Amino acid sequence: MPKNDRYVTKHGDGWAVKKPGATRASNVYGTQKQAEGRAKEIVGNLGGGEVRIQGRNGQWRDSDTVAPGNDPCPPKDRKH
């Protein structure tokens, strides 16, 4: 995975923004929406990449490519 990717994961009573392979969260927010926004901001500032969002159950529920990243499935990704 590219180094610019970030994950949004459940963290205690909040939501964390983490770099893949990191043991510590870079930021923790009260809502998933806040964490997702910050993750997209970080990835955008680093030149683009992928933001993966984890649901409450621990399953990956969504991902979004932040420009100028390379979307691996552009025809199927009509959500964003």
Q: Which pLDDT value is given to residue 43?
A: 93
Sign of CA dihedral 58, 61, 66, 69: positive
Q: Which pLDDT value is given to residue 3?
A: 77
CA distance 32 to 16: 8
Whole-model pTM: value is: 0.80
Q: Which pLDDT value is given to residue 1?
A: 47
The helix (run of H) or strand (run of E) holding residue 51 is: strand 49-54
* Lookup result for tokens 């993750």: 39
Q: What confidence tens digit (pLDDT) does each residue in 36-78 have?
A: 999 999 999 998 999 999 999 999 999 998 887 566 665 555 5
DSSP structure class, residue 80: -
Q: Which pLDDT value is given to residue 76?
A: 56
Residue scoring higher pLDDT (79 or 22): 22
Q: Which pLDDT value is given to residue 68?
A: 76
CA distance 64 to 53: 8
Q: Which pLDDT value is given to residue 73?
A: 62
